[in-house]
Amino acid sequence: MTDTDRNPDNFCYRHPDRQSFIICQRCGRTVCSECQTQAAVGVHCPECVRDAQQSAPRVKPAAVTRIRSSMRPSSGVPVVTYSLIGINLALYLATWVSGGALYQALAYWPPLTASEPWRMITSAFMHSPSSILHILFNMFSLFIFGPIIENLVGRGRFIALYLLAAFGGSVGVLLLSPGSVVVGASGAIFGLLGAFFVIQRRLGGNSMQLLIVVGLNLVLGFIVPGVAWQAHLGGLIVGAGVAAIYTATRRRQQRTVQTLAVAGVALALVVTTIVAVAL
């Protein structure tokens, strides 16, 4: 973790161990997802909400339900994120040990979709043995964004988001570049970027810098040879869509609706895959 990451301004003033980049629109203090209360504009911290209630007891506060009202924070270490990084690194080493056999068994090649559909997911845990920068860049991105999103949505929702984004990346390749052989977590990583954008916008944060990062990476995918921009695009769309479901069904009584909606995304990807293979 860099010195910038440890800047106290980037951590919740009530929970110093929780990183956040959202500030109270009234007092300017950094607040984590648990301490945020959505207001008409941006979010407010607990103290500002309480002060507003005390100063105008007869008026209903402008604050509305928090995004995390039905999403309990993942306390402690971001287990899912670190587990995903560990699996990717272990498989990368195993690829070298196996002399490339593991790469051949788990990489995604669209013509094999009907007979070996699991490759659409397993390929997201494989990386090119010819370039260590491939896995280093993806794992660094996962290390940066994974803990933030995992804490925001919870571990179960995070793993569902990650796997569906990875699946969406493979569907993007199937539809837009059916002759390509692809590996890498880029589709899932772009899914996290899309999800982070949606959640940040819902919380009232400034998303301009993130938009620039995503835009540059998408453009590089078109310019740099060997980059599967199709997977980036597919993962981005699915990740943003799943995050939109999370934010729209955040209340406790909407859990069933949320589960069904996320299952609907998975079903839509499966149906798209079946139709694309059949054509």
Does one domain contain both 101 and 31? no
Q: Answer whether residue 62 shows pLDDT above 80.
A: no
Q: Is 15 exposed, middle or buried (0-12, 13-18, 19+ CB in 10 A)?
A: middle
User: Quick one: pLDDT at residue 41?
Assistant: 57
User: Quick one: pLDDT at residue 262?
Assistant: 97
Query: What tokens appear for 238 in the block?
Result: 């699915």
Question: Among residues 44, 127, 134, 232, which one is catalytic?
Answer: 232
In a domain, 170, yes or no: yes
CB 123 within 8 A of CB 174: no
Assess whether 186 carries a catalytic annotation.
yes
Owning domain of residue 97: 79-278
In a domain, 66, yes or no: no
In a domain, 269, yes or no: yes
In a domain, 213, yes or no: yes
- Per cent of the chain over pLDDT 70 is 78
In whole numbers, what is the pLDDT of the chain averaged over residues?
Answer: 82
Predicted confidence (pLDDT) per residue in 83-124, tens digit:
999 999 999 999 989 888 999 999 999 999 999 999 999 999
Predicted confidence (pLDDT) per residue in 226-257, tens digit:
567 899 999 999 999 999 999 999 888 889 99
Assess whether 232 carries a catalytic annotation.
yes
What CATH number does residue 152 fall under? 1.20.1540.10
Does one domain contain both 25 and 136? no
User: Quick one: pLDDT at residue 182?
Assistant: 93
Does one domain contain both 105 and 156? yes
Predicted confidence (pLDDT) per residue in 176-185, tens digit:
999 999 999 9
In a domain, 72, yes or no: no
Question: Among residues 20, 141, 170, 186, which one is catalytic?
Answer: 186
Does one domain contain both 172 and 271? yes
Does one domain contain both 34 and 111? no
- The three-class DSSP label of residue 78 is coil
In a domain, 184, yes or no: yes
Does one domain contain both 135 and 215? yes
Strands (E), the chain: 37-38, 43-44
Query: What tokens appear for 236 in the block?
Result: 């981005």
Q: Answer whether residue 72 shows pLDDT above 90.
A: no
In a domain, 21, yes or no: yes
DSSP alpha helices (H): ranges in the chain? Answer: 46-55, 79-97, 101-106, 119-122, 132-153, 155-176, 186-202, 208-223, 229-248, 255-278
- The three-class DSSP label of residue 254 is helix
